[in-house]
Amino acid sequence: MCVRRERSNAHVAFVRRTTTTNIGPWIPRAHEDLHSSINGDKGSPTHWAVIDRIQAQLEQLGLEIQCDDLKFTYYDGPLSEPSIHINGESVPVTSYSKYSGFTDADGVSGQLVDLTTSSLTQMPDWKKASGNIALTNITNLAYDLPDLLPVWPGSPPWEVQYGSPEVNAEVLVHNLTVAADAGVKAVIYAWQNASTGLVEGQWVPFHNLYQGVPTLFVQGEYGGLEKLQQATSDGAEAQVTLEAQMQPGRTARTLWTVIPGTDLKNESVILNTHTDGTNLIEENGYIALLAYAAELVANPPRRTTVLLFVGQHMHFEAFAQAPQRATSRWLNQHPEYWAGEGQRHAFGYGGQLKGVVGSCVEHLGAVHWDESVEDDRWFATEQMEPELLYASTPELNRLLREQWVGAEPNVTRVSNPVDSEGPQAGEGYPFYLVAIPNISLVTNPSYLLKIWPHSFDEKRLMDLHATRRQIDSFFRVWKGMDMMSAEEMGVQSSNGTQQALHV
């Protein structure tokens, strides 16, 4: 038995009445409930509120809930406002790097040392700042999506897009453990080529293990970096405060429920999402799975279906070894749900059910925001964020193109993870790694990892009409999968660019 921490049944009646034909009225209430529990970092009180609500709604449908409670060391902080002072003068902090490191309430002090580099990929010479505070730079590069994300035939190509702090920080904020080993007391990263509104509150990089050196970000545009570099030339003293503490033994919960098939009982479909995140868009995928749970209870599937709500996405490297992600931990621990006889890449396990297809839902209804670096503006547009849809076989691409009417009703762009230079984004990637064909949505707005100020109404980020179109589309796709044979799903190619990275 998986026991809830809270025995609240608030709003569960909405999911009990939800079917494919009437999800529209339910979405606004689910939206409101989600808004009341945003910023659900895994294992936090707000995250547990989300988990309890999901479990309560599934239980009200009469479904049996299973769970894994996984222990990890939690970064509890910041306990006070992060700060930087140069010769006693305050420098505005745009964000902090969680799990980078921490100080006590008094912070750490030392000479500010310029370690900025002219090469975007060059690692700073951390030893030069041993015993002091390091200043370095990070550039928010535009990325060439046509090269990074090849699409299936029939899809319009991607266009070059402005940079994402998440993507750039994952690539460029690296080797902080080397800085810690070199004796650097703290690191200050100055953003370049980014508006202030965009970089404020960005929780990046988001999945590092503990690094050992407190790290803060500042705005480096509009003369900010030059001013700090001048301070280093003048021998300025810096003080950095990032007050936090590490808490061993915190718990993050993954939930799942199984709806037995009426016909293909020994084959499984696994539909997943993650429940933790930094804002309303990052953590809203469970809305689609809850709606579909009600549909499955009313109209049981032909094939056994697993609904999986993973709770460790925001710090998945504490739970699974790269390149795996949070869902990989569940796949490794529970081969009985997918690793049937003949299943490839099953990490050495056997199983009872054979997983024939997976599907991940993340980041529903995301409104597009744009920026103007020239005059430091960052603003909502009247457009939807371009959807990042994946299909890992040609057959699933055809299904998706036939059934999908999403955020932009006239645009269905399906990316091919097999031939991608980078790994498939999101929690659908673990299906790829074990050769389970998948269809996944993981739209990536520039604010995906932004912690918004309390004064901002995050409901502005999520378009409910687009959300309904996406959920309706998933219903059609999932029902289409249920009617297809395993052979009709196709076989994920083992000869693609991405597959070669894991040989």
Q: Which helix (H) or strand (E) holds 398?
A: helix 394-403
Q: Answer for the pair 106, 296: CB distance below 8 angstroms, yes or no.
A: no
- State how beta strands 89-91 and 186-192 pair: unpaired
CATH architecture entry for 12-74+248-500: 3-Layer(aba) Sandwich (3.40)
Q: Answer for the pair 156, 413: CB distance below 8 angstroms, yes or no.
A: yes
**Token pair recorded at residue 337:** 């749900």
334 secondary structure, DSSP code:
-
Q: Please tell me the pTM assigned to this model.
A: 0.90
Residue 360's closest CA among 400, 335, 327, 384?
A: 327
Confidence band (pLDDT; 50, 70, 90) for 16? very low
**Token pair recorded at residue 20:** 């494919």
Q: Answer for the pair 194, 140: CB distance below 8 angstroms, yes or no.
A: yes
Domains 12-74+248-500 and 78-243 share a fold: no
Confidence band (pLDDT; 50, 70, 90) for 29? low
Query: For tokens 């490297």, what's the residue?
Result: 317
CA distance 480 to 457: 37
Strands, E, within 300-353: which ranges?
A: 303-310
Chain-centroid distance of CA 255 in Å reads 17
- Greatest alpha-carbon pair distance for the chain in Å reads 76
Q: Answer for the pair 328, 349: CB distance below 8 angstroms, yes or no.
A: no
418 secondary structure, DSSP code:
G
Domain borders along the chain are 12-74+248-500, 78-243
DSSP letter string, 195-257: -HHHHTTB--S-SPPP-SS-EEEEE-TTTHHHHHHHHHHTT-EEEEE-B-EEEEEEEEEEEEE
Q: Which helix (H) or strand (E) holds 356?
A: strand 354-362
Q: Answer for the pair 295, 307: CB distance below 8 angstroms, yes or no.
A: no
pLDDT, tens only, 403-443: 999 999 899 999 999 998 888 999 999 999 999 999 999 99
Confidence band (pLDDT; 50, 70, 90) for 324? low
Crossing angle of helices 23-35 and 464-483, rounded to 10°: 120
pLDDT, tens only, 180-233: 999 999 999 999 999 999 999 999 998 788 999 999 999 999 999 999 999 999
Q: Which residues of 464-487 are buried (b: 16+ CB within 10 A; e: fewer)?
A: eebbbbbbbbbbbbbbbbbebeee
CA distance 230 to 135: 11
- State how beta strands 414-415 and 389-391 pair: parallel
Residue 489: how many CB atoms within 10 A of its CB? 21
Angle at 67 between CA 66 and CA 72, to 5 degrees: 170
Provide the percentage of residues in the chain whose pLDDT is more than 70.
85
The answer, yes or no, to whether residue 21 has pLDDT greater than 50, is no
The answer, yes or no, to whether residue 488 has pLDDT greater than 50, is yes
* Residue range 78-243 in CATH 3.40.50.360: no
Residue type, 134: A
Q: What integer pLDDT is reported at residue 498 of this predicted model? A: 55
pLDDT, tens only, 93-134: 999 999 999 999 999 999 999 999 988 778 999 999 999 999
- State how beta strands 83-86 and 237-241 pair: antiparallel
